[in-house]
Structure 1
Amino acid sequence: MYLPAHFEENRPEELHRLIREHPLGILVTGHDSLLDANHLPFELELSGEKPLLRAHVARNNPVWREADGEEVLVIFRGEHAYVSPSWYPSKHEAHRQVPTWNYQVVHVRGRLKVMDEERFVRGVVGRLTRTHEAGEDKPWKMSDSTPEFISGMLANIVGIEVEIGEIIGKSKLSQNKEDRDRLGAAAELEIRGSHELAGAMLKSRDAQD
């Protein structure tokens, strides 16, 4: 990933936040000289000796056989949006601005390990369910279904674990612009509903002050 110094995000808490708030990662693997990408919801585990990503895939998905023990890349992307040069006050004075795209991403590299045990898979599914059902009026839980049904579903998926070897973040939030232009772009994004991105732009500005 091309990473100019002014866009580099190296705060662990911010990298972890983005993964947790945008858990649908892109698992990139290589097999037979070809690249493959699978879109999977991951959980981030930081309580052990080494940080981990955990997920599950369909048993019919060949990725768990092809990538077991291999180095992989997992990409997480936060909110993103087009930024018009018209949102920069300086544009209307000198007309020396161009369109761009603001975004936040995290790239995780590590070695994939297959975890084809019912207990592991049940734990991953249970934790993901509790996390993402938490906002529901009546959260769904596995015990809502019969044990036989759940066991049959779990038998059709395989757990995977990625031991994180490298984590790199990029927050392209107009840090290379004048302060008034950053504020102008953030204000316009807020109006257009990109609240998270606008907030991140303001936080990055405050962090530099």
Structure 2
Amino acid sequence: MYTPPAFRDDDRDSIHATIRAARLANFVTATPDGVLATPLPLYLDENEGEHGVLYGHLAKANPQWRTPATGDGLAIFMGPDAYITPSWYATKQETGKVVPTWNYVAVHAYGPVEFFEDPARLLAAVTRLTGIHEGERATPWAVSDAPPDFIQAQLRGIVGIRMPITRLEGKRKMSQNRPEADRANVAAGLAASERPVERAAATLIPS
């Protein structure tokens, strides 16, 4: 990922927070047949390995797991993003030398990919993943709410993913390179947006 120094995020806690907050990742592998990618919910186990381990699962019918990967896999996590109009910049009134851009938060995680079919490991992975996403609900659904034989049948239709992270790249492009007046106007413009993701981006503009 191309990351100019002004936008580089090297803070481990910040990077992990972006991974945890992303509800969907893109899981990418390079193969002899070309690049394969699948949108997936993945969760991070921070207690494993130097940089943590990612877990998730694919449908067994998905050819990505049967196609040998060339090198490491890549998981892409996106945070808040927003289009930035040059109309918000104070600099527009001063010089007119401004152009549109896009603000965003992104994390790229790399590592060797392991696929597994062991029912006990699959059950543990889907149980934890479900718990993460059900945890905010007033009445959370649990895997144990479904009949065990039904769950076992569902597990036979998926393949687990385990990817120990060997390298992390974080990028937080939030107008850090703009003058203070421009940043203030961008934050105000985004805060007034009807889009929740843009209002979230507004909170990340440095003052």
TM-score by length of 1: 0.92
> Following superposition, which runs of at least 4 residues in structure 1 exceed 3 angstroms of deviation?
67-70
Match of 2:43 in 1: 43
Match of 2:199 in 1: 195
2:158 is the alignment partner of 1:154 = no
User: What is the number of equivalent residue pairs in this alignment?
Assistant: 203
Q: Offset at 1:185?
A: 0.3
Measured on the aligned residues, the alpha-carbon RMSD in Å equals 1.5
Distance 1:143 1:33 in 2: 39
Q: Offset at 1:48?
A: 2.3
Matched position secondary structure for 1:107: strand
Matched position secondary structure for 1:177: coil
Q: Offset at 1:65?
A: 2.0
Residue type matched to 2:138 in 1?
D
2:172 is the alignment partner of 1:168 = no
Matched position secondary structure for 2:203: helix
Match of 1:95 in 2: 96
Residue type matched to 2:63 in 1?
P
Matched position secondary structure for 1:129: helix
Task: Verify the 8 A CA contact 1:68 1:113 in the aligned structure 2.
Answer: no
Matched position secondary structure for 1:124: helix
Structure 2 unmatched ranges of 5 or more: none
Q: Offset at 1:126?
A: 0.6
Task: Verify the 8 A CA contact 2:27 2:37 in the aligned structure 1.
Answer: yes
Distance 2:146 2:59 in 1: 20
Match of 1:12 in 2: 12
Which whole-Å deviations, capped at 9, do the CAs of 1:2-25 have from their partners, x for residues lacking one?
111101111111100000000411
Map of 1:59-208 to 2, 5 A cutoff?
A: 59-67=60-68, 70-192=71-193, 193=196, 194-202=198-206, 205=207
Task: Verify the 8 A CA contact 1:111 1:163 in the aligned structure 2.
Answer: yes
Residue type matched to 1:82 in 2?
Y
Matched position secondary structure for 2:90: coil
Match of 2:26 in 1: 26
Distance 1:49 1:103 in 2: 28
Structure 1 unmatched ranges of 5 or more: none
Q: Offset at 1:68?
A: 6.0
Residue type matched to 1:201 in 2?
I
Task: Verify the 8 A CA contact 1:69 1:112 in the aligned structure 2.
Answer: no
Which whole-Å deviations, capped at 9, do the CAs of 1:75-98 have from their partners, x for residues lacking one?
111111100001112211221111
Distance 2:4 2:143 in 1: 45
User: Percent identity over the alignment?
Assistant: 36
Distance 1:59 1:107 in 2: 25
Q: 1:67 to 1:16 in 2, by over 3 A?
A: farther
